[in-house]
């Protein structure tokens, strides 16, 4: 596995590898050997992972992970950064909580955030996969007809991340809500039906029914299984 240094761009150090099992897994193991704001961009991932360890292979798509040694609200900043970067190309996508990006009812991108703690926060590994190709059998849509320069898209995403990180958190969460496609949707949770009322500043889902209002974290629910009306 030959990982090569490409260049530095706006404070990010870009490394590229032709093929790797998982960029997230590699940086989780090797984070001590790389600086803050390191990007590992893979042309192929053979054992990529999503939430709940769902397996995801990719070739010809945009797949990369970023090592952040500063603490950010990555659950909010990352999907919003992708949305804004895509908008620069005229692509109007939406966020399916917590971190999937949908376009025309099909999945366009996924995000996996893994934090490292050793008696306190050490680092975050933020993995991003954006489909360039269509995957009809998996309800996946690609954007290669709109975007050919994957590196330019990647850097747009990361520059938006840094831009958003400097804004007032209240402003950022309001932007996230604006692009959400789950608010006002019906879900089932612990055997009862709820309405998604809001997403709070921590990125948690606020759900309500006639009896109660609850706040639910990403560890407690999968919207893939919980949504009653399945159109995304």
Could you read off the pLDDT of 170-220 as tens digits, one per residue?
999 999 999 998 899 898 888 889 999 999 888 889 999 998 999 998 777
Domain with CATH 3.30.930.10 in the chain: 3-178
**What does the alpha-carbon distance between residue 121 and residue 195 come to, in Å, rounded to a whole number?**
34
**What's the whole-model pTM score?**
0.90
**What does the alpha-carbon distance between residue 132 and residue 218 come to, in Å, rounded to a whole number?**
27
Most confident of the following: 49-63, 150-164, 192-206: 150-164
- Choose the CATH number for 3-178 among 3.40.50.170, 3.40.50.2300, 3.30.1360.20, 3.30.930.10: 3.30.930.10
Cα-based distances in Å from 46 to 2, 17, 55, 122, 200: 15, 12, 9, 27, 35
**What does the alpha-carbon distance between residue 21 and residue 39 come to, in Å, rounded to a whole number?**
16
Lowest average pLDDT, out of 77-91, 179-193, 216-230, goes to: 216-230
**What does the alpha-carbon distance between residue 181 and residue 81 come to, in Å, rounded to a whole number?**
16
Q: Pick from 42, 43, 23: which is nearest to 34 by CA? A: 23
Radius of gyration of the chain, Cα coordinates, nearest whole angstrom: 17
94-135 per-position pLDDT tens digit: 999 888 999 998 999 999 999 999 999 999 999 999 999 998
């Amino acid at each position: 596995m030959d990982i090569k240094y490409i260049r530095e761009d706006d404070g990010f150090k870009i490394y590229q590898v032709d093929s790797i099992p998982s960029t997230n897994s590699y940086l989780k193991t090797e984070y001590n050997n790389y600086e803050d704001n390191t990007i590992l961009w893979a042309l192929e991932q053979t054992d990529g992972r999503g939430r709940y360890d769902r397996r995801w292979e990719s070739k010809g798509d945009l797949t990369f992970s970023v090592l952040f040694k500063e603490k950010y609200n990555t659950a909010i900043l990352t999907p919003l950064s992708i949305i804004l970067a895509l908008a620069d190309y005229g692509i109007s996508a939406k966020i399916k909580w917590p971190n999937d990006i949908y376009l025309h009812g099909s999945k366009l991108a996924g995000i996996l955030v893994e934090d490292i703690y050793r008696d306190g926060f050490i680092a975050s590994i933020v993995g991003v996969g954006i489909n360039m190709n269509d995957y009809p059998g998996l309800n996946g849509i690609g954007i290669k007809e709109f975007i050919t320069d994957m590196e330019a898209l990647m850097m747009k995403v990361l520059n938006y991340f840094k831009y958003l990180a400097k804004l007032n958190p209240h402003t950022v969460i309001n932007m996230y809500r604006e692009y959400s496609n789950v608010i006002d949707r019906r879900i089932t949770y612990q055997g009862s039906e709820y309405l998604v009322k809001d997403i709070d500043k921590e990125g948690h889902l606020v759900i309500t029914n006639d009896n109660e209002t609850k706040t639910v974290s990403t560890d407690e629910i999968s919207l893939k299984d919980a949504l009653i009306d399945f159109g995304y």
